[in-house]
Every structure is written in C-alpha cells, then in structure tokens.
Amino acid sequence: MSEAREYNVIEILLVEDSESDAQLMVEALNEGKLNTHITVVEDGVEALEYLHQCGTSPPDLILLDLHLPRMNGHELLAEVKKDPLLLRIPIIVLTSADNEQAFLEAYDLHANCCVSKPVDQEEFSRTVMKIEHFWLHVARRK
C-alpha cells in the first residue's frame, strides 16, 4: 500500500465482479459502527496483486465471490490459504449458490465460511451486516 495505514481502521477486501453487488455490500459495510476501509477488486488476479503489495499489513477480512473473471474464487482461495503470510486472513465466500459442489470445494480449500448471496436486496444487505458483525465484533482475528 502506498499510504501509511491509519491506526484502528479495519481493512476489508471485497472481491466482486458485479458492480451493483459490490455497491450494495459497500453500503451495508459502511453502516457498521467500526471505522472500515473497503477496497473493491473485480477479479482474482487483481486481488492477489493487491494482497502481495500489502506486505505486513494484510486486510482484516476478505469477502469473496466465486464466479470471477481471469482467476476464479477457488483459485484465489488456494493461493491465499497456502501462503503463510496470508492464510490467517478470514475469507468469507459470498456467492449465489447455484451449485453445492462449489461451496464444498471452497471449504476443502479452507474458506473460513460460505454464505449464499440472497436474491432479495434487503436480505442481502442484512446478511452482509451480519457477516461484518460476527467477524469484526465476535470472532478474533490475527
């Protein structure tokens, strides 16, 4: 990252190729009480480049869609979870579950959890807020 990281800012990386979904998620995340900074990238290659340039200050949380151009979510999961510098970052897979197998593979690749993206927009926002609440207020991170 080019600028120094502000103290106590929670960094969230959002890997999502749908602009409308990303927008909705950013809005939902910004409603939380914590000081969050959200970076949105559209595919796995971009996500990996971003993570590698973070060095010793990786994001606190990654929200990952599985259907992505260039490098898909499963490939990105495999890369992150075998990298000793990155594997501790919780990865929440959030995707339209059209295929159960995709979730099972994500768990096999050590996704921290998988959540099905609700079709209804309000429910989608509520789901994102619940993910944020659990991972930033209840679960411990590195």
Interface stretch with other proteins, choices 8-16, 47-55, 57-65, 98-106 (CB under 8 A) = 98-106
Binding to other proteins by residue 113, rule CB under 8 A? yes
Listed in sequence order, the residues at least 6 apart from 81 whose beta carbon sits closer than 8 Å to its beta carbon are: 87, 91, 109, 110
- Least distance from other proteins to the Cβ atom of residue 31, Å: 17
Identify which of residues 33 and 140 has a Cβ nearer to other proteins in the complex. Answer: 140
Binding to other proteins by residue 73, rule CB under 8 A? no
Q: Which amino acid is at 37?
A: H
DSSP 29-71: HHTSSS-EEEEEESSHHHHHHHHHHTTT---SEEEE-S--SSS
Q: Which of 60, 50, 70, 125 is nearest to 92 (CA)?
A: 60
Binding to other proteins by residue 139, rule CB under 8 A? yes
Binding to other proteins by residue 81, rule CB under 8 A? yes
Residues engaged in binding other proteins (CB under 8 A): 81, 84, 87-88, 90, 97, 100, 103-104, 107-108, 110, 112-116, 127, 130-131, 133-134, 138-142
